[in-house]
A and B are shown apart, each in its own frame.
Chain A
Amino acid sequence: MELIKNLKLESIFVFVLIFSVLFVAAGSLLDHSLTHEFPFAYFASDSFMDQTTVAHVADVENNNYYSFYTAYGYEDVFQSRPILLSQTAGMISKLFNIYPHDAVYIVILFSLVIIFLLVYCIIRRFNKKAAMLSIPFGLLMFKAPFNLVLLFGQWYFIMGVIYFIALLWIIGMDFKKNYLLLGLLFASSVFIHLPETFFVVFFAPFIFIINSLEKKKIDWKFIKCLIVAGLIGIILSSWFLFISSKTEIPAKTSEFEESPLFSFTIDTKMSARGFADVDLSNFGFYIIPLILGFILFLFSKEALKNKGAIIGVITLIIGFMTYLNFEKRAFAHRWFWPVYFCIFIGITLVFLLKMIKKEDIKLCFLVGVIAFIFMMFSIKIETNPGIMNSYDWEAMKWTWADIPKEKPIYFLYGPPMVQRDNLANSKHIAYSWEMDDVREKFSRNFNISEKFQFVINYNANQALCKSDKGFGYYNKVKEDGGVCEISKYPLLIEGMIKNKTLCEIEYLYLNYNTGNSQIDSLNKYISSKLKQNQWISTIHQNQGVEILKNGNPGKECEL
C-alpha cells in the first residue's frame, strides 16, 4: 500500500517535472505555441543551420547529401553533420506536415525533458528523496548565461548530452547483455555529437576504477562489456564514421593544431566566439548549498554508489578541461552544470531534513514541488520572435517555386544575412553582401554603380565529394583522399566570393525592414535606380521585402 502511495506521489512529481521544464524552457520563449508560421525564436546561425538541414531532410527523406544550396551548388556532397536531429525532426516534419522549424524545437524540447528525467532516474536509483529535492534546481540552466545553449542553437550538443549522461550511467551497470544497449547508445552518440563520445571514452577508466573500488575487485566484466559495446557502436555507425573521418574529424582536430591539446592554456574566455562566459559564480546564491553538498558527498560512506554525484564530478572536470585546450567542446558542458550539479543541492537538503528528522518522502515531494513552483516564477525566458520575420519568411517561401532552382539569389543588407545560415531558407544558392565590404562602403560616400563583394552561404565546410571515378571533384582533391578542404582549392574559393555590379545580378533580394532607416532608404534608392532600366523589374514584393529580376544580367545599366 505504501509502495502504491509512493508511486502515485512520484507520478505526480514526474508530471510536475515535465511541465516545469517545458514551461520554463519554452513557454514564454515560444509564446505558448508549438507551431509558428515562420521560424520563431531563432537567434543564431547555428539554429538556422539545423533548421534548414531539417527542411532539406524533410524534402528528400534522407540524410545522404547536403542540400545543393549549402554545398556550393553540388548535389552529391556527403552529409557530414550530426544526423540524429535532422533524421528525427525531418521525420516528424514530413509525416505529420509540421514546419521543419517547429519540428526542430519539438525534438529539442523533448530532449531537454529527457535529460531532466534521466538525471532524476540516476539520482533516484541512489536516493529517491534526494532526487525529488535535487531536480528542481536543474531548472537554473534556463537562466542566463546557461540558457545560451538553447537560445544560440547548440542543439546537436543538447541531444549529445542525452547520450553522454545515459552512457555514463549505464556504462558501469551490470545487467544481462548490457553491451547491446550500450552499443546502441554509443552509436547514437557518434551520430549526434562526437565530442560527447570522446568524453565518455576518456572517462570510462575513471568509472572502471570507481566500480572496482566499490566491488573491491577488478571489474573485468566492465572491460569486456565496453569492448563489445564499442565494437557494436563502431559497426552501427561505420558509414557515418567513415564520412566523418574524411570531413568533420580532421576539420575539428585541426582546430587544435595552433595550440595543441594539453597545452595548458589559461584563456577560457568564450566571449571571442560570441558566447557569454560561464563559471561557477553564475550559480549565485545556490553555490552555497552546492558546495556544501559536494563536501557532504566527498565524506559520504556511499560516495562510490552515488552515480549522479560521480557524473557531477566528471562534468566539473570536463568544464575545466578548457584549460587543457579542449576549448568549446569542454566549455559547452558548463551550460549543463545546473543539471549535472543539482544532486549536490539535493544532498544538502536531505542532510538538513535529516538534521530536523523530517526527511520522509511526502515532505521531500512537497519541498520538491514548491522548489519547482519557485523556479518557474523566478526564471523566465522572454518571448522573442528572433531574427526571422513574417516578411522575409513569406518572400523566401515564394522563391522556393518561383525562382528556378539553379539560379543564385543575391542578398543586400537585411535581417536574413545577420545570421548567414538563415539564407538557406531561400532554398537557393545564396550570396550575401560581405560585411567588411558593407562597412568599407558605408565609411565613405560610395557609388551604387561600384562593384559589390558577395560571399556564398554554405554549410559543408569540409566536403567529401563524389565523382565518376570515386571521391573528389578535382584530381588534387582525389589525391588528398577525397577531402575537399575548401580553403585549399582556389576553384571553390573563386566561386565563394563574387565581385559584381548590381547590373550583373539576375535575382536581387532587398530588405526594407532592416531597422536602420539609412539602409532601408539605400535599398529603396537602389531598387528605384535599377528599375529605371526596362529589363529590370519587381517579381515579388511585400511590406518588408522586394525581389528584383534582371532580364538581361550583365548588360550595362543606368544607375
Chain B
Amino acid sequence: METLEKNVNFKEKIVKELKSITIVFIALTVIVYLVFYKDNPLNIIKIVFLYFLLFILQGYALMLYWHKEFDFLERLVLGTIAGISFIGIIGYYLGWMGIGFIGQVIASFLIIGIMVYLIIRKESKKI
C-alpha cells in the first residue's frame, strides 16, 4: 500500500512539477524581457522557449531518476547542466555520423523519452 502511494505520489509529483515548470518558463520569459526590454518580445519568447526546450526540459526529465535525492530547484539546476551535457555530447557524436542539428535534437528527445518511460515503468513495477 505504501509503495502504491509512493507511485501515485511520483505521478502526482510529475504533474505538479510540470505546472511549476510552466510557471518557471513564464517567469523566466518575463525576467529576460525586463532585462532586455529593447528587444522584440517575440525574440525573447523564442530564445527562452528554445533554451527551455533544449536544455531545461530535457535535463529535468533526465533528473527524474533522482527525484527523491534532489528537490525541485536542485533538479532544475543540475538538470539544466545535465541537459547541456547530454545534448552537447550526443550532438557531437551524431555530428561525426553526418547527422544535422534537427536529427541530433530528435535523437536526444527520443533517448530521454525512452529513459523517462523506463523510470515510470520502474516505479510502476514497485507496486
Contacts and interface: CB of A to CB of B under 8 A. Distances in A.
A18 B88 contact: no
B56 to A, nearest CB: 9
Interface class of chain A by DSSP: helix
Contacts of B96: 62, 64, 239
Interface residues of B, number: 46
Interface in A123-173: 124-125, 162-163, 166, 170, 173
Nearest to B27: A15
A30 B36 contact: yes
Interface of A: 10, 14-15, 18-19, 22-23, 26-27, 30-35, 61-64, 83-84, 87-88, 90-92, 94-96, 98, 106, 110, 114, 117-118, 121, 124-125, 162-163, 166, 170, 173, 175-177, 180-181, 184-185, 187-188, 191, 236-237, 239-240
Contacts of A26: 35-36
Nearest to A25: B35
A84 B101 contact: no
A34 B105 contact: no
B35 A87 contact: no
A185 B54 contact: no
A170 B73 CA distance: 15
B38 interface: yes
17 contacts: A22-B36, A23-B35, A34-B32, A34-B36, A34-B43, A61-B100, A62-B95, A64-B95, A84-B85, A88-B84, A95-B50, A114-B81, A124-B73, A166-B81, A184-B89, A191-B92, A239-B93
A61 B95 contact: yes
B13 interface: no
B25 to A, nearest CB: 12
A114 B88 CA distance: 16
Contact of B88 (A84, A106, A118, A176): A84
A291 to B, nearest CB: 29
Contact of A34 (B39, B73, B82, B88): B39
B74 interface: yes
Contacts of A33: 36, 38-39
Contacts of B84: 84, 88, 162, 188
A27 B38 CA distance: 10
B89 A187 contact: yes
